[in-house]
Amino acid sequence: MKKLFTLIAFVVLVTAFFAGPAFANGSCDTIKDGTITDSAGNPVVSGYDQYGYNYQAHMFNGTYDSVDRVWGDISYTGDDSDPPNATVDDKLIMKWSDAWLSNVDCDLNGKLDRGLVDGTVGGTSKGWLTNHAEGDYDSDGNGTQDAHYSYFVKIVWVGPGGSLWGEYEIVEKVLNDPAGGMTGLLNKVAGPGLGLNDQWTTTP
C-alpha cells in the first residue's frame, strides 16, 4: 500500500478544535451541554464518535484514515512524529492531557479549549500527547503485507524554539519493526514525565 503520513498530533487537533485567546471564566460549558461543536459545526458528543475520538476521555482510538475527521483524506508530511510505514488502515491511539485539549469550553466560543491552565485559555496546546500506531506493510514490494510494526511517541509543549512545530519536542520514541531492522527505544529525553516544560526538563 502507498505510504501515508499525517501530522497527527498538531494539525488534526488544531483544525478540529481551535480555542480563542486567553479568557478566564468561572463557568465552563461541557460536552453534555450540547453547545460545543467541531470544525464542521457538528455537536461534540460524549463517548466515541464515528471517527474514533472520545474528547471527554482525552482519547482517540481509530485509524490514520479517520484521524483528521475526514474519511479518505490523508496528507503526506514526512513529519518526525510519524511512523515510517504508516498506511491508511493502520490503527492509531492518541491520548492527551487536559492542557493539550480540554473537554470543556471556558471562553464560551463553542469549541473545546486548548492550553487551558488554571482556568485560563491560552489558545495553544500545552501539556503532552502520545501516539501509538500499529499496522502491517509490504516490506519487499511483492504486494503482500508481510511485516508488522508498532510505534509509540511522546510529545510535550516546551514553548517557542522547540524542534517540532516550533513549540514542541519529542521526548520519547519507540519503534518495533523487525523487518525494517529497527527494534526498541529510538530516543528518550533524560527528564522524566509527560507534563509541561519545567516538569520534564528539570532533572531530579
pLDDT digits (tens, 9 = 90+) for 83-111: 776 777 899 999 999 999 999 999 999 99
26 versus 62: which is more confidently predicted? 62
Helix (H) or strand (E) holding 166: strand 166-177
- Would you call 188 helix, strand, or coil by DSSP? strand
Quote the Cα angle for 151-117-171, to 5°. Answer: 25
Contacts of 91 (CB under 8 A, 6+ apart): 62, 63, 133, 134, 135
Tens-digit pLDDT profile for residues 180-204:
888 888 878 755 555 555 554 433 3
